[in-house]
Chains A and B, each alone.
Chain A
Amino acid sequence: AQKITQTQPGMFVQEKEAVTLDCTYDTSDPSYGLFWYKQPSSGEMIFLIYQGSYDQQNATEGRYSLNFQKARKSANLVISASQLGDSAMYFCAGPTGGSQGNLIFGKGTKLSVKP
Chain B
Amino acid sequence: GAGVSQTPSNKVTEKGKYVELRCDPISGHTALYWYRQSLGQGPEFLIYFQGTGAADDSGLPNDRFFAVRPEGSVSTLKIQRTERGDSAVYLCASSLTPGRNTEAFFGQGTRLTVV
Residues from 68 to 115 in B contacting A, C-beta threshold 8 Å: 89, 91, 93, 95, 98-109, 111
Residues of B within 8 A of A106 (CB): 42
Of A12-20, A64-72, A90-98, the one contacting chain B is A90-98
Assembly CA distance A52 to B41 (angstroms): 25
Chain B residues with CB under 8 A of A31? 100
A42 to B89, CA, bound (A): 12
User: Cα distance A93–B93 when bound, in Å?
Assistant: 14
CB distance from A99 to the nearest CB of B (A): 6
Q: Taking A43-B89, A52-B101 as given, write out 18 further A-B residue pairs in contact, using a Cβ cutoff of 8 Å, ordered by the A residue number.
A: A33-B101, A42-B108, A44-B109, A45-B93, A45-B106, A47-B104, A50-B103, A91-B42, A98-B100, A99-B100, A100-B50, A100-B55, A100-B99, A101-B95, A104-B45, A105-B42, A105-B43, A107-B40
